[in-house]
């Protein structure tokens, strides 16, 4: 039982998921702001989550994919929380959120 025309659905997803990934990746490599790096990372994770949903729907394994997505979301939260802690400490140490200040780190 499918809600959509599967062929068009698959093609639309094939176009939009890489675009989301590109937005996140471009943000990570271009920006100099640590918080914006996290935003880019989040967008890449969103693209992967959408890919899992689409794969689950296309192959008719939505239940299994939901359990994978829940795992992914838990890992995402942990990564972002720890990274946020690191960003706060870096901002406190260097006085800015600029990634170029991290080049002077030693040890």
Partner 1 sequence: MKTYFILLLLMAICSLWAVMRGSLIRAAIALAATSAVLSIIMFKLVSPLAAVFELSVCAGLITVIFMSTISLAQPLTYSEMIERSKARIKRFWFLPLILVIFAFLLTLLAANLNPPLIAPETEKNISKVLWDIRQLDVFGQILILFTGIFGVIVFFGNFDKQGGTK
For residue 64, what are its two tokens? Answer: 């299994």
CB of 96 to partner 1, least distance (A): 8
Q: Does 26 bind partner 1 (CB under 8 A)?
A: yes
Out of 30, 100, 103, 106, the residue judged to bind partner 1 by CB under 8 A: 30
The single residue listed with the structure tokens 């659905």 is 9
Q: Does 99 bind partner 1 (CB under 8 A)?
A: no
Concatenate the DSSP letters of all residues of 18-57 into one string: HHHHHHHHHHHHH--BHHHHHHHHHHHHHHHHHHHHHHHH
Task: Between 30 and 105, name the residue whose CB sits nearer to partner 1.
Answer: 30
CB of 104 to partner 1, least distance (A): 18
The single residue listed with the structure tokens 């170029």 is 100
Supply φ then ψ for residue 4, to 5 degrees.
Answer: -115, 165
Out of 37, 56, 104, 106, the residue judged to bind partner 1 by CB under 8 A: 56
Q: Does 102 bind partner 1 (CB under 8 A)?
A: no
Task: Between 44 and 106, name the residue whose CB sits nearer to partner 1.
Answer: 44
Q: Does 92 bind partner 1 (CB under 8 A)?
A: yes
- What whole-number distance in Å separates Cα of residue 60 and Cα of residue 47? 20
């Amino acid at each position: 039982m499918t809600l959509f025309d599967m062929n068009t659905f698959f093609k639309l997803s094939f176009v939009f998921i890489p675009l989301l990934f590109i937005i996140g990746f471009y943000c990570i490599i271009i920006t100099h702001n640590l918080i914006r790096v996290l935003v880019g990372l989040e967008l890449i994770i969103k693209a992967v989550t959408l890919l899992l949903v689409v794969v689950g729907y296309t192959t008719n394994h939505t239940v299994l994919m939901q359990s994978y997505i829940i795992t992914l979301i838990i890992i995402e939260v942990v990564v972002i929380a720890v990274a946020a802690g690191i960003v706060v400490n870096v901002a406190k140490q260097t006085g800015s959120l600029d990634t170029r200040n991290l080049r002077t780190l030693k040890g």
